Amino acid sequence: MTVRHVTESELAELRARYVPRGITSAHPLTVDRAKGSELWDVSGKRYIDFAGGIGVMNVGHAHPRVMQAVQEQLERATHTSFQVVHYESYLRLAERLCEVAPIAGARKAIFFSTGAEAIENAVKIARAATGRPAVISFRGGFHGRTLLALSLTGSVQPYKQDFGPYATEIYQTPFPYAYRGWTTQAAMADLENLLESEVSPKRVAAIVIEPVLGEGGFVPAPLDFMRKLRELCDRHGMLLIADEIQTGFGRTGKFFAMEHSGVQPDLITVAKSMAAGFPLSGVIGRAEVMDAPDPGGLGGTFGGNPVACAAGLAVMDIMRDEKLPERAARIGSVVEERMESWAKENELIGDVRVVGAMAGMELVRDRKTKEAADKETAKVLATAREKGLIILRCGTHHNVIRTLMPLTIPDDQLEQGLDILGASLGA
């Protein structure tokens, strides 16, 4: 291995001088390399990775099957644009995703590069299919940073505060977040109220929901809420869009989180872990809905890049052969046991929410008032980093510690990471 002579402080200076402060890094260190569930910084210090590049590395860093598929595709063609000539990796990946999508009947899939683009296009498809303008999304939801995706996002700090005006015909309603007082009944009542007082259901093209709020704090939507949402959509001819960008690809113990409720969405957005770090996103949906936009209405120069699609096909094989959704469920039970035991001893932990390997701990200063312990959360993350664990937080109040470790993480590294997290909480 080559010896690197660059120092952390040199690189920190470059960052400060040439990169705007608007893009933050959760941890002030410079990564040199990553493998499996481990990272090394430029000084050679090793970390266990519970962040996975924000939920992108479900198959782990540099999985040999991904690397091989990518290398083979690199030798053949790196880009032609699907809008000029089509290629097999795109078509095969569309087939594979349609096979696993929890949607009945004929399905189709289209690819883009980022999660935000997938969301934008899901809305375009829903509007074309219904001929209606309005879209409903949830408070606390996160759907990306482009203008329409940001308009759908329900969180001001840091995402929305400086960037309006936002797209019109977007309506927001409370997410069923029981810990903060929003039961299924209360959230449904507010949604029904929205449809009576603000926008006619006849004008609503779609409701967009994350089955488990990601950036909004790792809050699972109760299964009966998802079922009621489906009924409401059916009653009014609205489409249901499941944003599975963070929850998909095995993270919650099923390939798609929607499988937990058995509710079938009309459209699903995917990105993140789909191609193990290569920029790739997509929309999968009922064929007749997907075919609503006229030819030429959908696309993008880079969408469905052949190298990214080759990586995506390898990811599909790994998910199946290594049974990663099942592995996620096992990881989740180990993590949940630890979090619940910390919660018995540590008053700071107000709530523990676990769906497969998507586990979150909400930290509060007082269990009665539920005042968000945002500074304390930041301190736990910094202590964990010093001890060799990279982990992220989320939540509208930045007080939820969340796990997004690779699902391929070996048991000993999982235990080691949890030991560090436990010690950091104690500290």
Ligand X SMILES: Cc1ncc(COP(=O)(O)O)c(C=O)c1O
**Footprint of ligand X on this chain (CB under 6 A)?**
54, 114-116, 119, 142-144, 210, 214-215, 243, 245-246, 271
Distance of closest approach, residue 280 Cβ to ligand X, in angstroms: 10
Q: Which is nearer to ligand X, 47 or 218 (CB)?
A: 218
Q: Which is nearer to ligand X, 130 or 246 (CB)?
A: 246
| Burial class, 31, CB count within 10 angstroms (exposed 0-12 / middle 13-18 / buried 19+) | middle
Rounded Cα distance between 122 and 172, Å, is 17
Q: Say which residue the tokens 């944003």 belong to.
A: 243
Distance of closest approach, residue 124 Cβ to ligand X, in angstroms: 15
Q: Are 101 and 94 in contact (CB under 8 A)?
A: no
CA angle centred on 105, ends 102 and 107, rounded to 5°: 70
Q: Which is nearer to ligand X, 245 or 315 (CB)?
A: 245
Q: Tell me the residue nearest to ligand X as measured from the CB.
A: 115
Rounded Cα distance between 243 and 233, Å, is 16
Distance of closest approach, residue 243 Cβ to ligand X, in angstroms: 5
What would the two tokens of residue 273 be? 């872990």
Distance of closest approach, residue 326 Cβ to ligand X, in angstroms: 23
Distance of closest approach, residue 244 Cβ to ligand X, in angstroms: 8
Distance of closest approach, residue 315 Cβ to ligand X, in angstroms: 16
Q: Which is nearer to ligand X, 49 or 215 (CB)?
A: 215
Give how far Cα 199 sits from Cα of 187, 193, 195, 230, 232, Å: 17, 9, 5, 18, 14
Q: Which is nearer to ligand X, 251 or 338 (CB)?
A: 251
Q: Which is nearer to ligand X, 195 or 358 (CB)?
A: 358
Rounded Cα distance between 244 and 220, Å, is 12
Q: What would you measure as the largest C-alpha separation in the chain, in angstroms?
A: 66
Distance of closest approach, residue 115 Cβ to ligand X, in angstroms: 2
What lies within 8 Å, CB to CB, of 243 at 6+ separation is 119, 141, 143, 208, 209, 210, 269
Q: Which is nearer to ligand X, 137 or 424 (CB)?
A: 137
What lies within 8 Å, CB to CB, of 384 at 6+ separation is 390, 391, 420, 421, 424
Distance of closest approach, residue 144 Cβ to ligand X, in angstroms: 3
Angle between helices 223-236 and 184-197 (to 10 degrees): 20
Q: Which is nearer to ligand X, 144 or 201 (CB)?
A: 144
Q: Which is nearer to ligand X, 272 or 327 (CB)?
A: 272
Distance of closest approach, residue 251 Cβ to ligand X, in angstroms: 11
Give how far Cα 343 sits from Cα of 337, 340, 346, 360, 423, Å: 10, 5, 5, 12, 13
